[in-house]
């Protein structure tokens, strides 16, 4: 929503005491087709939020949720979603098949003026391809909470020091790009849930019970 409203440009104008309206006319969420790639728990929550703002929501997932399928959310292919969506939000894991799923070829399939949101995993996006899309105007805005080269850069204070990633610095400085350092999860509620779930899982293991969220190399162990 902040990208659609051009809030970053407006913040810059306010800092300069430029109180003119132009050129920061916004786009309303309710006028957008929002394409959600990946309909697990987070993807579904995002879908509900977007519908709450009045957007039309479409989705794609290789593992379809039966309830969402009944309601007609799914398109037939990822290309169909790219062609229809004004906003594309990624909610899929970092597995080999998904690496650089956003690339020059997929961007060409998208609508002119598309907004891409990646709060999932950095390697899903070919950053150089997105930069080319931003430069050409094909991409209206880019929201990134993850970055394919974030290790060693995110969660560090670079104030007063030489910033180590020129490409990321360029993105941070752009008025139509919003960057956060992998902190979308970082809320009091989420952190509390992580602690409680870890505690409950360990307690069940100690008591000889099956944990709620088992992680095992041997899938038959549990």
Task: Note the pLDDT tens digit of each residue in 142-162.
Answer: 999 999 999 999 999 999 999
Q: Is residue 2 part of a domain?
A: no
Residues 159 and 201 in one domain: no
Residue 211 has pLDDT above 50, yes or no: yes
Q: Are residues 108 and 207 in the same domain?
A: no
- Residue of 121, 148, 174, 192 marked active site: 121
Which one of 125-134, 198-207, 209-218 scores highest in mean pLDDT? 125-134
pLDDT for the residue numbered 198: 87
Same domain, 141 and 204: no
What are the Cα distances from residue 92, in Å, to 49, 63, 204? 18, 11, 29
Same domain, 59 and 167: yes
Q: Are residues 115 and 13 in the same domain?
A: yes
Looking at the structure, tell me whether residues 59 and 24 fall in a common domain: yes
In contact, 140 and 8? CB cutoff 8 Å: no
- Are residues 23 and 54 located together in one domain of the fold? yes
Both structure tokens of 59 = 């989705």
The model carries a pTM of 0.86
Contact in structure between 151 and 185 (CB atoms under 8 Å): no
How many domains does the chain contain in total?
A: 2
**Domain that residue 153 falls in:** 7-186
Q: Which helix (H) or strand (E) holds 184?
A: none
The residue from 5, 9, 174, 182 that is catalytic is: 182
Q: Which of 27, 91, 148, 150 is catalytic?
A: 150
Co-location of 80 and 165 in the same domain: yes
């Amino acid at each position: 929503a902040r990208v659609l409203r051009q809030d970053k440009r407006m913040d810059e104008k306010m800092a300069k005491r430029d109180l003119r309206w132009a050129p920061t006319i916004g786009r309303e969420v309710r006028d957008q087709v929002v394409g959600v790639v990946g309909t697990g728990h987070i993807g579904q929550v995002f879908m509900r939020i977007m519908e709450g703002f009045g957007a039309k929501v479409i989705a794609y997932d290789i593992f379809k949720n039966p309830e969402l399928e009944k309601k007609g959310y799914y398109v037939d292919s990822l290309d169909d979603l790219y062609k229809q969506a004004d906003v594309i939000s990624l909610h899929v894991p970092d597995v080999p098949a998904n690496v650089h799923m956003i690339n020059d070829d997929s961007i060409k399939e998208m609508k002119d003026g598309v907004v891409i949101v990646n709060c999932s995993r950095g390697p899903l996006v070919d950053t150089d391809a997105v930069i080319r899309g931003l430069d050409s105007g094909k991409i209206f805005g880019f929201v990134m909470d993850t970055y394919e080269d974030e290790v060693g850069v995110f969660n560090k204070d670079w104030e007063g020091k030489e910033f180590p990633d020129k490409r990321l610095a360029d993105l941070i400085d752009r008025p139509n790009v919003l960057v956060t350092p992998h902190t979308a999860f970082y809320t009091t509620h989420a952190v509390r849930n992580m602690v409680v779930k870890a505690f409950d899982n360990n307690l069940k293991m100690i008591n000889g019970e099956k944990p709620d969220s088992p992680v095992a190399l041997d899938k038959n162990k549990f």
